[in-house]
Structure 1
Amino acid sequence: MADPCSLSNSQACKTTNISLHLVVDFDKKVLRGSATLDVEVLEERVEHVVLDTRDLTIHGVEDTSTGQPLQFLLKDQVAPFGSPLQISLPANCQAKGSKCQVKVSYETAPSSSALQWLSPQQTAGKQHPYLFSQCQAIHARSMLPCQDTPSTKITYQALVSVPKPLVALMSAQRCGEEPDPADQTRTLYKFDQKVAMPTYLIAIVAGALESRDIDHRTKVWSEKELVDKCAHEFAETETMLKTAEDLLGPYVWGQYDLLVLPPSFPYGGMENPCLTFVTPTLLAGDRSLASVVAHEISHSWTGNLVTNKTWEHFWLNEGHTVFVERKIAGRMHGEQTRQFGALGGWKDLYHSVQTFGETNRLTDLVPRLEGVDPDDAFSSVPYEKGFTLLYYLEELVGGPEKFEPFLRKYIETFKYKCLDTEEWKAFLLDYFKKEVSEGLFDKVDWKAWLHTPGMPPVKPSYDTTLADACSALCQRWSQATPDNLDQFSAQDLEGMSPGQKTEFLAQLLLEAPLSIQHIEKMDQLYGMSANNNSEIKFRWLRLGIRAQWEGAVDPALEMVTVQGRMKFVRPLYRDLYGFEKAREKTLETFKQNRPFMHSTTASLVAKDLHIQ
């Protein structure tokens, strides 16, 4: 099965290992050095290996066994997928089963979509520059020449040179450091990833970093200004990791470290093996947002160990991961917590479907991505529609005691491998063949679940215990008139968890817009504008903008400027653009801030704001 998002010839020959030797150049904002690829030929008479690249300068290619140069051709760009690099294989490495090593000397572009270069002023410490990468979905090709498809898994090693006193980290085991023999003002860091993984999980960071131990296999890293706060926030990481092991089997990656990135990181988290990246917007102070870590931990099995074959089957990664994340929450905090999370996820899914449009094929669980940048298809659909399917199937077969053994067997069967939806479905039906023979699966409308846009064909019945208080308060506010707002008091939120307050606001967002009087009264009583929980603040600001409350405009513009998490930034920018009085100021804010944003975020927000 060809990957529509890759230009490589991964079906003819595959890369099995990559050795990197890179110099981090902050002055030029480039990585330069080499990537040595172990190539195995899969078919007869293969004359070339074709690699994915985007905006790379190729200085030369050689056969490492002889040191002889190899002919190569960097072909024209194919938007949005980059430029294929065609390398002539040595004559003795063109038959099926033959192997060779190809070394590519190259340099990235300052505009590499995988790399964000921060000035000292953009960091917490204000003293040193900072670099971090984000390779999912198809950005690894702008950081190194590779077969940039999740269907090809590689091990990798790296030597990374950074200026003193900066620290380099990667999504691999740390193997020591030494003065760079080529330049004594720099340090050479060594890394080794022995577990095969797709290229989108290669990650690099360089900055003024410190670490704190959380447990025997877990550290948290950040700039020193935040590191102790981070250690407190994520103190439950080892408990989450052990809970995931109980569900899915042994953790195979060795170390599990967390890196809290600067605010411009575009996602809540990124499951880079051995080094999960997380956003500082999780630092609520009360660990109420640490569930994102449970999500990234779950990816150690669902995504990193068992991987979607192409981005069209992204739900296999994310739907299973949300499912496991909520299992962890249920085991740690009670089943009602899992159910409560599922209710919130349904609302997120509804918002995504409304944003794309109910007939948009990108809301299929398995969308077609021919000619489509996977970033343009990114939404909560694979996460929440995928979760809903798995939850529905769990209920269908008789509950967790029947479905959790299937989940563990699924991991055991497909670990270190890639698969597509049809392979997953075949495995599911074979595992539950007794139930299939009894006709239990006859009611499953696979076409509606997998290949039909819009909301799922079935909405499960979730336990609403934790949501009922949120729903009751939501109804009171949505039904109140501006004349009877005195019925509310600050005690309305007493006993509500941060998650319930978030749910209360999320439910209000599904109702008709409130009046400005409602919003101002709510702020007076509940102090919403002063709440620093990012999930609460995000929904509160959206509620204010929908009410056309000008008091929400400046705080919303500040929120889209001081952090770059797309979950918050894109909806807020869209809402602000729709508020006519705020549109001009919104466009001006984006234009001023665009140079400091992550390239993926900036590109997608520009489309949201109808800027070419």
Structure 2
Amino acid sequence: MKNILWISLAMPLLFACSEPVKENNVAAENSEDKAQVASDTSAIEAGKDYHSFANPDEITVKHIDLDLTADFDSKQLTGSATLTVERQKESANTLVLDTRELDIDSVTVNGEPVEYTMGDTDPALGSALSITLPDTATAVTVNYATSPEASGVQWLTPAQTAGKQHPFLFTQAQAIHARSFIPLQDSPQVRVTYDATIRTPDDLLAVMSAANDPDTPRDGVYEFTMPQPVPSYLIALAIGDLEFKAMGKRTGVYAEPSMLDAAAAEFEDTESMLEATEDTYGPYSWDRYDLLILPPSFPFGGMENPRLSFITPTVIAGDKSLVSLIAHELAHSWSGNTVTNATWRDLWLNEGFTTYLTYRIMEMIYGHDRYRMEAVLGYQDLQEDIDALPDNDEILAIDLRGRDPDDVFSDIPYEKGALFLREIEQKIGRANFDAFLVQYFDHFAFQSITTDEFIAYLDETLLKKYPDELDRERVLAWIFEPGLPEGAPVPTSDAFTTIDEQRTAWLNGEKAAVDIATQDWTVHEWLYFLNNLPTELSDEQLEELDSAFSLTQSKNNEIAHSWLLMAVQNEYKPAYDRLYEYLVSIGRNKLVKPLYRELSKTPEGKAFAAKAFEEAKPGYHPLTIKANEGFVNP
């Protein structure tokens, strides 16, 4: 996520830089800065979750039973969470949970009240709920209600949905927002099974990241079971006017009726992706893999909630050009959902592995040429972040102490992590690396692991088996040093070489825009062409491009984003009506945040951004508001 705030928790593919790639010379960086990085990193206690108050080392929550009612009038979930616990220390009698702005009504064991206290509120972490458990207690029930402003819950009015007739609710728990709608141990190292009863208005359907029955009666009471243990950030709920359409034996899509057919057609290759991934990386462990298409306010591209990935409608392009997002969320079923980062410092174990698998899935389904183009775009995203971020944020095993864990979401854990794995693949051979991944996913199945545990596993596997091909010091440099090691792989694409030639010819006045041979271009080629134009262009150049290719009116959200960003950078006013419409109709942070940031650089642009933000804010997710309000506030 990647957030984020990117996407992403979804993968930040297809968002390349708009300037030529700059070389990153790690060796030339200040040695004192490097010493400081090393010093800070060495002080981190591996496996300690600095973003949770919980005490799973003393008492661990193993299962959650939810019984919640969705009240759209008050914008609250009300009901109970019954937590089954296991004592890790016999003498332990205080269970500590994470909460954020929950209204606790009572806490009981076997129906009898027990003592509890609420800790002070931390702006990023919320409040600790400490419960005194009787010696023989194995379960405790918390009766509570969420806040209407819960950071992990968005309530949409009918006007903010596609159908305009019914309200909509969805949750987004990553990174630490599950605590805003469930009192629990909100750390990825704590894995739970769960059951849930969700009560809704009769005309709405509830779905969860659990076993969903597409044929369930729409009666206002829905029951769910998640039999595999999952970390808290993968607990997810959505309620709305939803219908289901199958795409294969194990795959289907939920969406509002007006979007259902388009979504099913766009993502019809999902079953093929699932089968190809199983053939290469081992059995799929989650029974079904369905998609939920959310309203456009969803702040990320996708969220890998098990059994039911949450997906933005902004990737429904009509030509399958943006389905790498689906491959990414599916890949999380192996890397992230089955083998999970133990803390947010270790996010690269989720996202780096998943991004690597995404490229492989796209190659298996759509061919080598598309794989190469997407890899180049991802590499340019990475270079842009390396150029922009401080050294400490360019490290895979990032130091997040004292910071909001949402800060970890950039291209570093995604693209740098994937590039690291691609280097290993190239050094030992693809077949050998695939065999390692199958073993790795099986060895750590349904566990949450740290970077240190991964390195120890490498020591006993690849580093021992391939001592001539792999170097441990280089592995540590990839993980603990900023930037890229010298000689890191650089993706290339023959298709992009041709585009470079045509772009240069146009910039030099040797070719008119209408004479550029774009008729067979894919979305990836368009993005490469646009994102590698100079930042500064004249009105005449922009008008020529717009006239030739109708870029202002592009219906592809990624192409529109790149063009509108260029319009803002050059104050190309003919695109500003479209820019305004874009900002008020989409809440995906990857697409709107760069536009708000760029607009904020001039007084006139900031005023424009403030007006759009004010209109869009009621429909934006809380995370989108948090990520962008600083660009529009005086």
TM-score by length of 2: 0.89
Q: What CA deviation, in whole Å up to 9, does each residue of 1:529-548 have, x standing for no partner?
A: 22211111111111222223
Task: Classify the secondary structure of the residue corresponding to 1:191.
Answer: strand
8 A Cα contact 1:2 1:11, kept in partner = no
Output one character per residue of 1:328-360: Cα deviation in whole Å (capped at 9) or x when no partner: 1111122232222111101111223344x3x34
Matches within 5 A, 1:308-319: 308-319=341-352
CA distance in 2, matches of 1:42, 1:101: 14
Q: Secondary structure at the match of 1:221?
A: strand
Q: Is the 8 A contact 1:158 1:190 kept in 2?
A: yes
Amino acid of the structure 1 residue aligned with 2:433: F
CA contact (8 A) 1:448 1:457 kept: no
Q: Which residue of 1 aligns with 2:633?
A: 611
Equivalent residue, structure 2, for 1:499 = 524
Choose between structure 1 and 2 for higher RCO, CA contacts under 8 A separated by at least 6 residues: 2
Per-residue deviation, 1:386? 0.6
- 2:33 is aligned to none
> Does the aligned pair in 2 maintain the 1:340–1:466 contact within 8 Å?
yes
Residue 218 of structure 1 deviates from its aligned partner by 1.4
Aligned residues of 1:435 and 1:441 also touching (Cα < 8 A): no
Supply the AA of the counterpart residue of 1:498: V
Alpha carbons of structure 1 residues 21 and 177: separation in structure 2 relative to 1, 3 Å: farther
Q: Deviations over 1:161-207 (max 9, x none)?
A: 0011100000100368578xxxxxx6110100001100101111111
The RMSD of aligned alpha carbons is 1.8
Task: Tell me if the contact between 1:80 and 1:371 (Cα under 8 Å) persists in the aligned partners.
Answer: no
Residue 406 of structure 2 is matched in structure 1 by 375
AA aligned opposite 2:452? E
Match of 2:193 among 134, 149, 155: 155
- Which residue of structure 2 lines up, in the alignment, with residue 582 of structure 1? 605
Aligned to 2:593: 570
**How many angstroms does 1:476 deviate by?**
2.8
1:264, 1:598 within 8 Å by CA — same for their partners in 2? yes
Distance 1:468-1:419 versus aligned 2 partners, 3 A rule: same
Answer whether contact 1:350 1:455 (CA < 8 A) is retained. no
* 1:8 to 1:434, Cα distance in 2 relative to 1, 3 A: closer
Q: Match of 1:182?
A: none
Checking the alignment, whether the CA contact within 8 Å between 2:585 and 2:616 is kept in structure 1 is: no
Choose the corresponding residue for 2:304, options 253, 271, 285. Answer: 271
1:193 equivalent to 2:233? Answer no
Matched, 1:488 2:507: no
Report the equivalent of 1:412: 442
Q: Whole-Å Cα distance in 2 between the matches of residues 466 and 420 of structure 1?
A: 39
Which residue number in structure 2 is paired with residue 183 of structure 1?
A: none
Which 5+ residue runs of structure 2 have no aligned equivalent?
1-46
The Cα of 1:579 is off from its aligned counterpart by 4.3
Instruction: Please say if 1:174 is aligned against 2:207.
Output: no
Is residue 145 from structure 1 mapped to residue 145 from structure 2 by the alignment?
no
Q: For the structure 1 residues 486 and 329, does the alpha-carbon distance in structure 2 shift closer, same or farther, using more than 3 Å as the test? A: closer
Structure 1 residue aligned with 2:48:
2
Answering whether residue 99 of structure 2 is matched by residue 53 of structure 1, we say yes
- 1:411 is paired with a residue whose SS is helix
Superposition misfits of 4+ residues, deviation over 6 angstroms = none
- Give 1:450's match in structure 2, choosing from 455, 479, 482: 479
Output one character per residue of 1:101-145: Cα deviation in whole Å (capped at 9) or x when no partner: 111111000000010000011111111111011001100000100
Could you tell me which of 119, 123, 135 is aligned with 1:79?
123
Q: Using the TM superposition, give the Cα deviation of residue 424 of structure 1 relative to its aligned residue in structure 2, in angstroms.
A: 1.1
Q: Aligned residue for 1:280?
A: 313
- CA drift of 1:6 comes to 0.8
User: Displacement, 1:451?
Assistant: 2.2
Counterpart position of 1:211: 244
What one-letter code is carried by the residue in structure 1 that aligns with 2:415?
E
Deviations 1:478-527 (A, max 9, x none): x42xxx3753325521221122111211222xx34222211111111122
Q: How many residues align?
A: 587
From 495, 509, 531, the equivalent of 2:554 is 531
Which residue identity lines up with residue 593 of structure 1 in the other structure? A
Q: Which residue type is aligned with residue 401 of structure 2?
A: E
Distance 1:457 1:131, change over 3 A: farther
Q: Distance in 2 between matches of 1:585 and 1:456?
A: 42
Structure 1 residues 506 and 456, CA gap change in structure 2 (3 angstroms): farther
State the 1:35 CA deviation: 0.4
Structure 2 residue 353 is the aligned partner of structure 1 residue 307: no
- Is contact 1:261-1:277 (8 Å) kept? yes
Question: Which deviates the most, 326-335 or 545-554?
Answer: 545-554
Quote the offset at 1:589 in angstroms. 1.9
Where in structure 2 are the equivalents of 1:323-334 lying within 5 Å?
323-334=356-367
Determine if contact 1:267/1:566 at 8 Å carries over to the other structure.
Answer: yes
Using a 3 Å threshold, how does the CA distance of structure 1 residues 7 and 611 change in structure 2: closer, same or farther?
A: farther
Aligned to 2:25: none
Match for residue 40 of structure 2?
none
Match of 2:574, SS?
helix
Give the AA of the match of 2:514.
S
1: CA distance between counterparts of 2:205 and 2:302? Answer: 21
Match of 2:71 in 1: 25
Correspondent of 2:272 among 232, 239, 243? 239
- TM-score of the superposed pair, with normalisation by structure 1: 0.92
